[in-house]
Structure 1
């Protein structure tokens, strides 16, 4: 159970965004990275927001109707970001994900981004743990 920590399964090199970036640029970065969203960082690498595919889709559709350029990341980012630290338990995070709806969490240490962890990462960790349990008993 000791190895089931966020640090062991998080993405240590996530795509992140600047608040003054155009939404269209954020969409391109999300598409290239296969992330469903990402943290918005200030100049000190502190998480100040989160932008998701859903946030971008809404703004891009709206912009396409009016043939306007899309807004900036800071215009559509969420500022009520739930985060977790890297020493947290995967099982506790999984329990938290059952209650709260975020599919991905920024991993923060000393207020700075060190990675992100997704629902898929949590499932991967739990699956690996269960597989090792069953292989030991066989």
Structure 2
């Protein structure tokens, strides 16, 4: 199972955001992309934050209370982003998920450039495929 790598199961075309994007537009991207969150990228395609459904819900409640929607992604994104590399082991990521609890990790190269995302569901799928293949051999 150690041979399972992030690059083989990651989402190469996930929903992404920019810092200046209005939160309302970000919400639309989340809804149409059917994702729970995604990385915020700068103009060089480097991860500078992460935006989740939870971040958006909190802002939408505030916006509905004050009747204004002027917030930008940079105003509500998390800046402490946990990332992984394409060559990382799926099993190691699974173990990290148990302690760090992210739903989605941005995948970056060694220079910090964004390459995709890997979610809990992607990790679960990879492990399931490996286990099913092992059962077929037994």
5+ residue gaps, structure 1: none
**Aligned mates of 1:37, 1:4 — CA distance in 2:** 24
Aligned pairs for 1:83-122 (under 5 A) are 83-109=83-109, 110-122=111-123
**Aligned mates of 2:132, 2:119 — CA distance in 1:** 20
Shift of 1:70: 4.2
Partner of 1:61: 61
- If the length of structure 2 is used for normalisation, what is the TM-score? 0.96
- If the length of structure 1 is used for normalisation, what is the TM-score? 0.96
Aligned length: 137
| Greater mean deviation of Cα atoms: 2-11 or 30-39 | 2-11
Partner of 2:136: 135
1:24-74 CA distance string (max 9 Å, x none): 000000001111100000000000000000000000011011111141000
5+ residue gaps, structure 2: none
Aligned pairs for 1:10-49 (under 5 A) are 10-49=10-49
**Aligned mates of 2:60, 2:70 — CA distance in 1:** 6
Shift of 1:124: 0.2
RMSD of equivalent CA atoms: 0.9
C-alpha distance 127-106 of structure 1, shift in aligned 2 (>3 A): same
Quick check: 1:59–1:70 contact (8 Å CA) kept in 2?
no
C-alpha distance 47-39 of structure 1, shift in aligned 2 (>3 A): same
